Amino acid sequence: MGDVKRRNKNILKSEETIKTVENIKKPFEKVPLSKGLPLRILSRVVVITSLLIIVYFSSKESVITFAKQTELLPGKGLIVECSPEYMNEIIKYEGCAPKDCKRLVTDKVISEREAEELLKIAQKGLKFGGSYGGASILDLHSGALSKGQHFVNIYKIKEMQNLFTQNDFNVFRVVKEKIKFTIAHHFGVQPDKIFLTHPTFFSEITPRKAVTVHDEYWHPHVDKETYKSFHYTTLLYLGDYGIDFKGGRFVFINDKSNSTIEPRKGRLSMFTSGRENPHYVEKVTSGTRYAATISFTCNKIFAIDDPGVDKYEFKS
């Protein structure tokens, strides 16, 4: 019997399915018919079931990891074909249309220390808010902070007066400038032709159940369709996938196989905002995921100022 079991295990591992079916007969020949028949059926059931399991999992196994959390990437890019709508629109803005539509990931532009400083800024603000559902945002430009089922304006709340210091705004500005020049360099555009745009915000995602639509971050979407002003989307991760939280990978949707970016503290991901880059964020299953969405436009009308202390309503 032990032999039969071992044999069976080998069969299960074999990928040559036709041969395995033939092989099954041999070990059972010595077994009396009365006992052999159920065993034979059983082993066939086992083989068929395991084949079905293999087929099921290999069909689901079409996700490629584009950027692993454990690797320090100097820069990794993939050129994708620009969607016609994106190209037709962006071509109107001289010096702002990309040479190629792309996805890029780099761990070398923003330092871990800068990411940590931004994380502190995000947490400092989010402490005063927090959505009932799993996703909260803090937008330093508009002042929007998720609170309960709504948003409040951090610049109009007395307790939050001067919570963010000039130094905090400086850190944000340095990071934004670095990102702007990185986009200019990698997409072959002029740095003075791309502008920070709305919404640019910190996000905090927990495994809590969604309460409002603002909590539903996991739906596949195209940034340019959600936000008309977007031309270049950048995401800066402020925590580590698998360490600070589980789930929450960023997923590009492709025809053949989807590809993931695993967040890593200080990791910067950049991509053209058109239909060539549909994506979603997987649900976070444990821990808290922090990131910053820092977006750029070619259309000066949609440009926003760098946030600063002058935004506070009550001056002290």
Ligand X SMILES: *[C@@H]1O[C@H](CO)[C@@H](O)[C@H](O)[C@H]1NC(C)=O
Among 4, 12, 253, 304, binds ligand X (CB under 6 A): 253
Contact code string over 165-204 relative to ligand X, x by CB under 6 A = ----------------------------------------
Residue 150 is which amino acid? H
CA dist., res. 120 & res. 102, Å (int) = 31
Q: Closer CB to ligand X, residue 12 or residue 253?
A: 253
Smallest distance, Å, CB 257 to ligand X?
Answer: 5
Contact code string over 12-41 relative to ligand X, x by CB under 6 A = ------------------------------
Closest by CA to 291, choosing from 122, 142, 61, is 122
CA dist., res. 1 & res. 237, Å (int) = 55
65 near ligand X, judged by CB under 6 A: no
DSSP tally for the chain: helices H, then strands E: 7, 16
Smallest distance, Å, CB 184 to ligand X?
Answer: 31
Smallest distance, Å, CB 250 to ligand X?
Answer: 12
Among 75, 95, 191, 220, binds ligand X (CB under 6 A): 220
Do 110 and 237 form a contact (C-beta atoms < 8 A)? Answer: no
Contact code string over 78-117 relative to ligand X, x by CB under 6 A = ----------------------------------------
Do 123 and 202 form a contact (C-beta atoms < 8 A)? Answer: no
- Piece of 81-89, 178-186, 226-234, 252-260 that binds ligand X (CB under 6 A): 252-260
Among 106, 206, 258, 269, binds ligand X (CB under 6 A): 258
CA dist., res. 276 & res. 49, Å (int) = 39
Assign residue 130 a region: left if phi > 0, alpha if psi is -120 to 50, beta otherwise?
Answer: left
Catalytic-residue membership of 289: yes
In sequence order, what are the residues at sequence separation of 6 or more whose Cβ sits closer than 8 angstroms to the Cβ of residue 157?
128
Instruction: Name the burial class of residue 195, with classes exposed (0-12), middle (13-18) and buried (19+) by CB atoms within 10 angstroms of its CB.
Output: buried
If DSSP codes are grouped into helix, strand and coil, which group holds residue 194? Answer: coil
- Piece of 22-30, 111-119, 155-163, 253-261 that binds ligand X (CB under 6 A): 253-261
Annotated catalytic residue within 249, 267, 275, 289: 289
Q: Which tokens go with 114?
A: 């800068």
Smallest distance, Å, CB 34 to ligand X?
Answer: 48
Do the strands 232-237 and 279-281 form a parallel or antiparallel pair, or are they unpaired?
A: unpaired
Q: Which tokens go with 123?
A: 């947490």
Smallest distance, Å, CB 282 to ligand X?
Answer: 9
Smallest distance, Å, CB 30 to ligand X?
Answer: 46
Among 165, 190, 257, 285, binds ligand X (CB under 6 A): 257
CA 267 to chain CA centroid, Å, is: 11
Which residue numbers are catalytic? Answer: 289
Binding site for ligand X (CB under 6 A): 62, 220, 253, 257-258
